[in-house]
Structure 1
Amino acid sequence: MSFVRTKTAESDHLVSCDGARTTKWQTPQTGNSVLEIQTYPDSSAITKSQREQLVPPYHWHWYQEEHFTVTQGYADCLPSPVTMLTRNSTFVFTLNGKDTKISATDPNPRINITPGAPHTFAPDPSYKGPCVIEISAETSPLSSETTSTDLGVSERFFRNLYSYLEDCSRQNTSPSLPQLLLFLDSAEVSLAWDVGPRWLMQYVTYGLGVVIGRWIGGGLLGYKGSYLEYYNPELNETKKGK
């Protein structure tokens, strides 16, 4: 049975994992490529299988600085320069192998991820209640006034990735590794490992994206970095200031 792509480009928001997360996009400020808002109605109710789909893999960005702002609830993030904080968290960030919890009530509910820093994030599973986080990224230096859509992390990337994973879940199909790596490679993103020197990890994971994602996935298997069913520039591209 062939894989069917749901036409989600026509929707102004995406619902993932039976409502465990809702994602929408707004016009980013000048100099940014995206402004994404994720809402989790109840972080504590998210199942293990849902978290496997919702939580990004450990990764790093080639050029862009990424910003996370918790506006409601608590989050866990992993960045190395940040120490572990004890409080009622709503998101957990992992940066450079260290976990940090951030709440909307913190004096500074924002964390910045520099290019090359390995990281991921997830809504705190112990927090009962809604969690909302805003994700933005500075425009890729490879983008210009002449590019038809923003390079790097953008609404295009997120819509394709989330829609694809949701379709895989609905059709009880395991996501294709070459397709996932092609999505990442097309967004100037590579997987990350906390093994060995960072520079070596970056060379290896970048190479994986190129060989398995770009060459095998895109060249041999015919996968694309973006699909019109998931993202249509005429419908989804928000007006951005470069």
Structure 2
Amino acid sequence: MFDQLNVPRTAIATDNPVLFDDGRAAMEFYTPSNKYFGRQIIPVGNRWSDGTRSFMAPVAHYHLLQTETFHVESGRGLWYLKGKTIERSAGQDITIPKYTWHTFENHPDSAEPLVILYRYDSQRFIMEESFFRNTLTYLWDCGRAGVEPSVLQLSVFIVAAWMPADFVQCPGDYLSCFVNTLAMWMFAFIGRFVYGYKSTYPEYWDEEYIRTRIGEESKKAA
């Protein structure tokens, strides 16, 4: 269990964008003056250069606080909602309501990366950037170390972003969301107070830097 806690961490706290697999995938963060929260690059085939599955195509999850909108900048993607598969290509948008089971990926038939811009109806820049920096880089570091990511650590990350993953299979969006929210809190409590996992790590997250960057870029845009 503690192998995941002691995984060597890549220092990316002041990187923007954050690059994975030599730029095969990336996460870029914008500021409140921008229409979008950020930009993601999902690799071709949803896989890394070594053939393993990329975490840039996320596990199915819910948002408890926000409605999320994606804009496809380039490429083709598939969005999965319970019972639906929706394709979007360059120039198109898709909006995911709160409490809705969803995930997405680069289209399996696409020969180019999927590049998306995304935003929330209620932008919480500090909360969201902390979540993405910590979660994605943790997953990357676990992969590099050959260690399976801890569900308890991931729960500590996602509870801070109010974004339960689909740990428990249940029928219906609202029931499933409710059950998985309870599971998220239970796993996060065990991870935080029994095993010592944290919601942020200094190698991944520097809040002072983030607030300074947001302030400076917002002044330039004014």
Secondary structure of the 1:196 match is: coil
Compute the displacement of 1:194 (Å). 5.9
* Between structures 1 and 2, the one with greater helix share: 2
Alignment of 1:1-242 (within 5 A): 2-29=6-33, 35-40=37-42, 43-44=44-45, 46=47, 49-51=52-54, 53-73=55-75, 90-105=76-91, 109-139=92-122, 150-151=126-127, 154-192=128-166, 195-213=170-188, 215-237=189-211, 238-239=214-215
| Structure 2 gap ranges (5+) | none
Change (3 A) 1:68 1:201: same
Q: Which amino acid aligns with 2:98?
A: P
Distance between the aligned counterparts of 1:4 and 1:46, measured in 2?
22
The C-alpha deviation readout for 1:178-209, integer Å capped at 9, x for no partner, is 00111111100112366323332122101111
Distance between the aligned counterparts of 1:121 and 1:219, measured in 2?
32
Compute the displacement of 1:46 (Å). 2.9
Secondary structure of the 1:49 match is: coil
Distance between the aligned counterparts of 2:30 and 2:78, measured in 1?
24
Percent identity (aligned): 28
Distance between the aligned counterparts of 1:200 and 1:23, measured in 2?
32
Assess if the C-alpha contact under 8 Å between 2:46 and 2:56 holds in 1.
no
Compute the displacement of 1:15 (Å). 1.7
Distance between the aligned counterparts of 2:183 and 2:19, measured in 1?
30
Q: Which amino acid aligns with 2:179?
A: V
Distance between the aligned counterparts of 1:150 and 1:56, measured in 2?
20
Q: Which amino acid aligns with 2:90?
A: A
Compute the displacement of 1:45 (Å). 7.5
Secondary structure of the 1:6 match is: coil
Structure 1 length as normaliser, TM-score? 0.77
* Between structures 1 and 2, the one with greater strand share: 1
C-alpha RMSD of the superposition: 2.4
Structure 2 length as normaliser, TM-score? 0.84
Question: How many residues are treated as equivalent by the alignment?
Answer: 208
Distance between the aligned counterparts of 2:108 and 2:18, measured in 1?
21
